[in-house]
Structure 1
Amino acid sequence: MNNLTEFEKYVIEQKGTERPFSGEFVDHNARGVYCCKKCGAALYKSEDKFNAHCGWPAFDDEIAGAVARSIDADGRRVEITCQQCGGHLGHVFEGEMLTDKNVRHCVNSVSMVFKPVDELNQVASQTRTQKATFGAGCFWCVEAIFAQLEGVLSVKSGYCGGEAKDANYDTVCSGRTGHAEVVHIEFDPAVIDFETLLTVLFESHDPTTLNQQGNDKGPQYRSVIFAHNSDQVDLANAYINRLTEQGVWQHPIVTQICAFDTFYPAENYHDDYFAKHGEQPYCQLVVKPKFDKVMSKFADKRKKD
Structure 2
Amino acid sequence: MKNVHKVGFGGGCHWCTEAVFMSLKGVVKVEQGFIAPKEHLTAFSEAVIVHYDANVIELKDLVAIHLDTHKSTENHSMRNKYRSGVYYFEQGIKPMLDEIMSQVQKEFAAPLITAILPFGTFTSSEERYHNYYFNDTEKPFCKTHITPKIKMLKEKYDKHLSAKLR
TM value normalised by structure 1:
0.49
- Establish whether residue 289 from structure 1 lines up as the match of residue 164 from structure 2: no
Could you tell me which of 142, 154, 158 is aligned with 1:299? Answer: 158
Aligned residues: 161
Q: Residues 249 and 128 from structure 1, CA distance in 2 versus in 1: closer, same or farther, beyond 3 angstroms?
A: closer
For residues 122 and 132 of structure 2, the distance between their equivalents in structure 1, rounded to whole angstroms, comes to: 19
TM value normalised by structure 2:
0.87
Secondary structure in structure 2 of the residue aligned to 1:274: helix
1:282 partner amino acid: F
RMSD: 1.9
Q: Residues 243 and 301 from structure 1, CA distance in 2 versus in 1: closer, same or farther, beyond 3 angstroms?
A: closer
Q: Are 1:194 and 1:232, in contact at CA under 8 Å, matched by a contact in 2?
A: no
1:187 partner amino acid: Y
Q: Which structure is higher in helix share?
A: 2
Q: Are 1:211 and 1:222, in contact at CA under 8 Å, matched by a contact in 2?
A: no
Q: Could you give the per-residue CA deviations for residues 172-229 of structure 1, whole angstroms, max 9, x where no partner exists? A: xxxxx521111111111111121111121112112111256xxxx2412121011112
Query: Which runs of 5 or more structure 1 residues have no equivalent in the other structure?
Result: 1-126, 165-176
Higher relative contact order (CA 8 A, sep 6+): 2
For residues 293 and 220 of structure 1, the distance between their equivalents in structure 2, rounded to whole angstroms, comes to: 24
Secondary structure in structure 1 of the residue aligned to 2:67: helix
1:62 match: none
Query: Which runs of 5 or more structure 2 residues have no equivalent in the other structure?
Result: none
For residues 159 and 118 of structure 2, the distance between their equivalents in structure 1, rounded to whole angstroms, comes to: 30
2:27 match: 152
Q: Are 1:211 and 1:223, in contact at CA under 8 Å, matched by a contact in 2?
A: no
2:46 match: 181
**Which consecutive aligned stretches of 4+ in structure 1 deviate over 2 angstroms post-superposition?**
248-251
2:98 match: 237
Matches within 5 A, 1:145-294: 145-161=20-36, 163=40, 178-211=43-76, 217-244=78-105, 246=106, 248-294=107-153
Matches within 5 A, 1:24-63: none
Displacement, 1:281?
Answer: 1.9
Q: Could you give the per-residue CA deviations for residues 21-45 of structure 1, whole angstroms, max 9, x where no partner exists? A: xxxxxxxxxxxxxxxxxxxxxxxxx
Determine what percentage of the aligned residue pairs are the same residue.
Answer: 25
1:267 partner amino acid: E
Higher CA-based Rg: 1
